[in-house]
Amino acid sequence: MIGLDTNVLVRILTADDPVQSQQARLFVESRCTPESPGFVNCVVLSELVWVLERLYRYRRSEIAGAIDGLLAGRDLVVEAHDVVHAALAAYRASNCDFVDALIGQINRARGCDATATFDRKAAKLEVFVAVS
């Protein structure tokens, strides 16, 4: 298994740099298989969403589709797959940020009753509790 950094996924998803995008695609195609998948950790996933939102102006539906693609890939393993899937469902069903949904779901999976926050959007999710 080999870990994949955010910039590799960005190149594949956006094809913004013809040379690096092709290099990233070829690398993943040649090195990531069901027997030896590429690994996407939650930090990389969080960075990926931030980059797609802020720098590339992807819409929520495009970001959700990108995450769906990563979760469905047989050649990739996403850390905490079920937790990410739950965060994606919350992201789709609300106006919260994906990273906030992921934080809440990770904490819930680790045994937290809720996650304290000042974020009003996040506080609407059942995995959060508003501080004030």
For the stretch 23-57, pLDDT in tens is: 999 999 999 999 999 999 999 999 999 999 999 99
Q: Provide the 10 A C-beta neighbour count for residue 54.
A: 9
Band (pLDDT 50/70/90 cuts) for residue 90 is: very high
The fraction of the chain above a pLDDT of 70, given in percent, is 100
Q: What is the residue whose two structure tokens read 């090195």?
A: 31
Band (pLDDT 50/70/90 cuts) for residue 109 is: very high
Instruction: Please report the pLDDT score of residue 41 as a whole number.
Output: 98
Q: Is 83 exposed, middle or buried (0-12, 13-18, 19+ CB in 10 A)?
A: buried
Averaged pLDDT for residues 103-125: 97
Spatial CB neighbours of 77, under 8 Å, sequence gap ≥ 6:
1, 37, 38, 39, 40
Instruction: Please report the pLDDT score of residue 58 as a whole number.
Output: 98
Taking CA atoms, 38 is separated from 33, 34, 50, 71, in Å, by: 7, 9, 21, 12
